[in-house]
Amino acid sequence: MSKLKRIREQQHLTQEELAANSGISVRTIQRIESGVLPKGHTLKALAKALNLQKNELLADFKAETMTVATNTVKAEDSSNAIDFQKMKLINLSSVMFVILPPLNIIVPLILSRLFKQDNIISKQIISLQILWTILAPIVFILGILLKLGRSFTIVLIAAILLSNVSLILLNLAEIDRNKKLRFRLKFSIV
């Protein structure tokens, strides 16, 4: 049960009554009770309507959000235990196929399935390779359209390939040191 709902019920208020007292819509109260963190005016209005300090209400929400996030991570970890040695192999497998872009996606995908490492890190490794595979030809074509000559094209190809190798090696070092990725997306393509 969310903290807001608990406080609201302790004060014998319905969502509609809290909405009327705070000037916040019932829908917004429903969202907050389902886990959305209130900000700014909403937080201030709710705290005032519930006779609480804004910081006290915010601290309760942050603590609750951290508990939910921790429990979610624990649940994910227990079902998908991360083997960081295998993660390093999955990540490193992309280097061998930098010149053959579809394989730099397929090989890590196959290895993640074989090693039973279907977790957020393996998905991020594969998502990064997919994004790189999409962006590399676009950058190459744009470079060719500039018509700066053959030597520029060779340097451009080398730069594109080195960018992926650097991405892979820096992520490998970060997995080894800190058990996380240095470069990761805010979304997952896989």
List of domains in the chain: 3-79 (1.10.260.40), 84-178 (no CATH)
| Residues sharing a CB contact under 8 Å with residue 18, sequence separation 6 or more, in sequence order | 8, 24, 29, 46, 49, 50
**In this structure, how many other beta carbons lie within 10 angstroms of the beta carbon of residue 122?**
24
Q: Where are the alpha helices (DSSP H) in 34-149?
A: 40-49, 54-79, 84-92, 103-114, 120-145
What's CA 131's distance to the chain center, in Å? 15
- pTM of this prediction exceeds 0.85: no
Per-residue confidence (pLDDT) for residue 1, from 0 to 100: 55
Q: What does the pLDDT read at residue 129?
A: 94
**Taking the CA of residue 53 as centre, how many other CA atoms within 13 Å lie in the half-sphere pointing to its CB?**
4
Q: Cβ-count burial of 66 within 10 angstroms (0-12 exposed, 13-18 middle, 19+ buried)?
A: exposed
The pLDDT of residue 141 is: 94
In the predicted model, residues of the chain with pLDDT beneath 70 are: 1, 58-80
Q: Are 29 and 52 in contact, with CB atoms under 8 Å apart? A: no
In this prediction, residue 73 carries a pLDDT of 45
- Please write down the long-range contacts of 186-190, taking CB distance under 8 Å and 24 or more positions apart: 187/127, 188/120, 188/123, 188/124, 188/127, 189/126, 189/127, 189/130, 189/131, 190/109, 190/123, 190/126, 190/127, 190/130
